[in-house]
Amino acid sequence: MVKEFQYSFNELGIVNSDIEELMGFEDGIIPDPFPELIEDALNCASSICNIRGGYKIFNSNECSIDKQSIRICEHAFNPSNIVITQFKNASSFALFICTAGSEILQHSKVVSQNGDPLLGFVFDVIGSVSVEKATDKVQKSLENECLKSGLSISDRYSPGYCEWSVSEQQMLFALMPENFCGVSLSESSLMMPIKSVSGIIAIGSDLKQKGYQCHWCTEKNCIYGNIKRQKKI
């Protein structure tokens, strides 16, 4: 089963605090001129973002999992133990791709080049938040679809995070329709548009969404994990 969605920016329900958090500001503590910049950028973003996302479900006869790998059709993924543990009760899997489009990053660059790098940075952050919020909606749609069959889903995980080699994006994209949601992959496993997310969600009768436990992961380049760790300190 393949499903694809398109979302308006307003459907994502993004609020100022979503942007502030990803920028690393504490709740309610944000210096000028950022409040005004965020407000202006959010008002403009609805005409810039081209938000698309979707998933492909692979049935149980196409999938298997053991203590070291996940096999989907002819491809064997080798994520970390963190991911394998969360997927261990899976009977099938869904691959997903989601993007905020290329326009938001292009706009960010133009704004910065025209002499307003702070506003350009805000647009860049809005692109990151947009794709995560859209992926939340794709995941919720998958959850509702699985509930029809009495199944539940895991949290989503992506190559490049949780000690999972980003090179395995190549297998993930090979299993999806070509140029799905307008997203392509370079030889170095970089997604284009850059503000895109892809990954795997497990499906089964005994799975739970636990939320991201950043203390499990040693990934130093994850902006979300870094923010959570800084707040804890």
Residue 96, classed as helix, strand or coil, is strand
pLDDT value of residue 27: 74
Among 73-77, 142-146, 205-209, 218-222, the range scoring the smallest mean pLDDT is: 218-222
Q: Residue 96: which of 56, 63, 128, 153 has the closest Cα?
A: 56
CB neighbourhood size of 161 (10 A): 20
Residue 101's Cα: distance from chain center in Å?
13
Residue 179 tokens read as 């140029």
Q: Which domain holds residue 105?
A: 2-232
| pLDDT higher than 90, residue 191 | yes
Summary mean pLDDT of the chain: 90
Q: How far apart are CA 72 and CA 163, in angstroms?
A: 20
CATH of the domain at 201: 3.40.109.40
Burial class (CB in 10 A: 0-12, 13-18, 19+), 74: exposed
Q: What is the pLDDT of residues 192-230, one digit of tens each?
A: 999 999 999 999 998 888 776 555 555 555 555 544 444
Between the alpha carbon of residue 171 and those of residues 92, 94, 198, 207, 220, the distances in Å are 17, 14, 12, 24, 24
Q: What is the pTM of this model?
A: 0.89
Please state the domain count of the chain: 1
